[in-house]
Amino acid sequence: MAGARGLLLHGPEARAVAPRTCSGMPLAPERRQAKATKRKHQGSSEAPPAKRRHETAFLPAKKPSVKETQRTFKGNTQKTFSPKKYSVSTGGGKQEERPCIKTSSLFKNNPEIPELHRPVVKQEREQVFTPESFHELGLHPHLISTITTVLKMSSMTSVQKQSIPVLLEGRDALVRSQTGSGKTLAYCIPVVQSLQALKSKIQRSDGPYALVLVPTRELALQSFDTVQKLLKPFTWIVPGVLMGGEKRKSEKARLRKGINILISTPGRLVDHIKSTKNIRFSRIQWLVLDEADRILDLGFEKDITVILNALNAECQKRQNILLSATLTEGVTRLADISLHNPVSISVLDKSHDHSNTEGRVAREVALPQTSNERDSFAIPESLDQHVTLVPSKLRLVCLAAFVLQKCKFEKDQKMIIFFSSCELVEFHYTLFLHTLLSSSGAPASRQLPSASSRLKFLRLHGNMKQEERTAVFQEFSHSKTGVLLCTDVAARGLDLPRVTWIIQYSAPSSPAEYIHRIGRTARIGCRGSSLLILAPSEAEYVNSLASHKINSAVLHPSLCNLPQGAEAHLPCSIPPPWACGEELRAKRCPQKSLCHFYEEEENKPEKHHAITSFLPPEEQTHPTLPG
């Protein structure tokens, strides 16, 4: 046995099994032999076997890159990650290494998109403009001149034609009309006309004569700007605005000096009612609640109760107005509390035609109670609505490609994208800044003409500082092009000129919110388009819209070519969707979690694709969407 054991010590198996002492340590000769074996393996690992050496002899020697680092997990050294390369033949029989283009599995194994069966409904329409001019209302000549020269309006809209005569007679009113129909002027003109006509001239120190409540700060600024323009001939009437985010000390100073037309958000006004002694409501003659349903949706119902109690304690007789494009049960309850013997004005109601003005004014109007009256919404006739079903993993790619096509390859495009939360706005804003605006490493000759000037991103949400929100609102309002990423804070009442597209990346919570979102375009007779992006599991949302008499054309996502000559500009404008993770890592973007959306796999370079359009197959020859 000992001899056999000794033979084993000198055989090949000695590398794997070495004799040990009673303490478990290998003997000295075996230890030296193990070291020699280790050195032999290390030397052999540096050079490939003979067969591999013969196959790769023509490749040049490659020095290890700095970027090739080893990843360690729980003390174990992992595989070295380096960019994969493939060999191509060049002239003279030489071989050259080029990096592989990786294609994401985003474009493979996608779930089937279900057919969208939607009932065809007759959509409610409103006539925006009327042939009647403001001269027929008996307004002050200076006010008419301001409307025509400063506001550039010569004829009344339908809601103005029906509302202004009623309000000038001192009646309470519940006004309902489609978005972008001129409801702000429908109450501002009667307020200014009645205040300038008072026999005893208004003094600034008298305090508020009119109180306008709006749900958001941006709408407060916009309403204040409109009132300020109307008051240019009447300098003794002083308007003012109160809203969150501003310094209370400066607002108290303005209240101490006096404000005659006070525009405010409910929360800030309640704050001043409780803490400011200089605010007085004894002379209030007008109370206006603009976007009344949104005021209630934001949880201001208790604040409205406090304001109404403060007004009732100091003045009993005043004129009350509620305005909105959509009516809800909450608005009906609020109207019951705040309005006295009101007139319900709806452009859809044919009985309120101008030819029967006397009968309409004298009639005691019952507030709408039926669900059919509340559930049908009017859509601007110049608005083209589209909806598309996109698998969840393709949503981000589709949004980026749509923005790129519309804003970089088409002229005069101004777009608003709605998201469901402030975090989503921040994420996509940072992502688009680092990808869609990235042009590093591309030759200047390949840049699209005026591309950088066309593509500009802005964001707006409730977590931003008030100074920044105001600056963004003003910049986007005066800009001819750009992309605004926002929450529903920009969905109500804002008049943002020349908006061509509304994209709803997150589905709205209700059809009423859908109406207000798309109402940011196609205002006052202008044309506009909207796109609703839904996941296949959200297909029933279209039937919900149809139940409220809202029609939308279906667009099918498809792969098609870019506009002619644009292919050369794509790599310098936007990286392929599967490269977004590498792009973010290279720029050290905080949103590194995006790379987890993509699984990369090696493929040939000619398989490079990019989603750039959403046209149906029969329309893929056209570079743009209808409208």
Half-sphere exposure of 285 (CA within 13 A, CB side): 17
Beta bridge partners of 417: 485, 503
CATH architecture of 383-619: 3-Layer(aba) Sandwich (3.40)
Banded model confidence at residue 121, pLDDT cuts 50, 70, 90: confident
Q: What is the mean pLDDT of the chain?
A: 75
pLDDT at 557: 54
CA distances from 304 to 123, 273, 331, 500 (A): 34, 12, 12, 35
Query: What is the identity of the amino acid at 323?
Result: L
Q: Give the separation between CA 207 and CA 311, rounded to whole angstroms.
A: 13
Using one digit for the tens of pLDDT, what is the confidence trace for 486-501? 999 999 889 899 999 9
Which backbone phi and psi does 459 adopt, to 5 degrees?
-135, 150
Which of 129, 175, 419 has its CA nearest to residue 291?
Answer: 175
Place of tokens 């205040």: 195
Q: What is the pLDDT of residues 203-223, one digit of tens each?
A: 999 999 999 999 999 999 999
- Structure token pair of residue 252: 């108290």
Average pLDDT over residues 385-406: 91
| Strand pairing category for 414-418 and 482-486 | parallel
Q: How many other CB atoms are there within 10 angstroms of residue 476's CB atom? A: 22
Domain boundaries of the chain, sorted by first residue: 158-375, 383-619
Give the closest residue to 179 by CA, choosing from 460, 495, 548, 480: 495
Assign residue 243 a region (left: φ > 0; alpha: ψ between -120 and 50; beta: otherwise). Answer: beta
| Number of Cβ atoms within 10 Å of the Cβ of 65 | 10
C-alpha span between 209 and 220 (Å, rounded)? 17
Q: How confident is the model at residue 615 (pLDDT cuts 50, 70, 90)?
A: very low
Three-point CA angle 77, 83, 88, nearest 5°: 140
CA distance 297 to 510: 12
Predicted TM-score (pTM) of the model is: 0.68
Q: Would the pLDDT of 316 be above 50? A: yes
Q: Are 226 and 153 in contact (CB under 8 A)?
A: no
Which of 160-164, 348-352, 367-371 is most confident? 160-164
Q: Average of pLDDT values for 445-469?
A: 75
The angle subtended at Cα 214 by Cα 210 and Cα 219, nearest 5°, is 110
Please report where in the chains the tokens 């990423």 appear, as a residue: 485
Neighbours of 411 (CB within 10 A): 9
What local confidence, expressed as pLDDT, does residue 22 receive?
Answer: 43
- Residue 30: pLDDT band by 50, 70, 90 thresholds? low
261-264, strands of its sheet edge to edge: 239-242, 261-264, 210-213, 286-290, 319-324, 173-176, 343-346
CA 62 to chain CA mean position, Å: 48
CB atoms within 10 A of CB 172: 20
CA distances from 133 to 136, 139, 147, 154, 180 (A): 6, 11, 11, 6, 18
CATH, domain range 158-375? 3.40.50.300
Q: What is the pLDDT of residue 106?
A: 64
Among the ranges given (5-9, 25-29, 95-99, 596-600), the one the predictor scored with the smallest mean pLDDT = 596-600
Tell me the residue type at 427.
F
583: tokens are 């792009």
Q: What is the reported pLDDT for 205?
A: 93
Which residue has tokens 């294609």? 103
Query: Which one is predicted more confidently, 483 or 622?
Result: 483
* Helix, strand, coil fractions of the chain, as percent rounded to 5: 45, 15, 40
- Taking alpha carbons only, the member of 542, 506, 499 closest to residue 521 is 499
Enumerate residues 6+ apart whose C-beta is below 8 A from 253: none
pLDDT one-digit tens code per residue, 530-580: 999 999 888 889 888 888 888 877 775 543 333 443 333 333 333 333 333
Dihedral Cα 371, 372, 373, 375, nearest 10 deg: 80
What confidence tier does 267 reach under pLDDT thresholds 50, 70, 90?
very high
Question: Tokens for 235?
Answer: 């300098």
| CA angle (490, 494, 498) in 5-degree steps | 105
Task: Report the distance separating Cα 426 and Cα 593, nearest Å.
Answer: 14
Residue environment code for 278-295, b if the CB has 16+ CB neighbours within 10 A, otherwise e: ebebeebbbbbbbbbbbb
The whole-angstrom separation of Cα 378 and Cα 366 is 21
| 153 within 8 A of 147, measured Cβ to Cβ | yes
Distance of CA 392 to the CA centre of its chain: 18
CA separation for the pair 364, 173 (Å, rounded): 11
Please report which confidence band the pLDDT of residue 310 belongs to, taking 50, 70 and 90 as the band edges.
very high
What per-residue confidence (pLDDT) applies to 137?
Answer: 93
166 CB neighbour count, 10 Å cutoff: 22
* pLDDT at 34 (0 to 100): 67
* Residue 378 burial (CB count, 10 A): 21
| H or E stretch covering 263 | strand 261-264
Q: Is the pLDDT of residue 427 over 50?
A: yes
In sequence order, the β-bridge partners of residue 96 are: 88
Confidence of residue 450 (pLDDT cuts 50, 70, 90): very low
CA distances from 278 to 243, 258, 273 (A): 17, 9, 9
Burial 223-250, CB ≥16 within 10 A → b, else e = bbebbeebbeebeebbbbbbbbeeeeee
| pLDDT tens digit sequence for 570-613 | 333 333 333 333 333 333 333 333 333 333 333 333 333 333 33
More confident residue, 256 or 68: 256
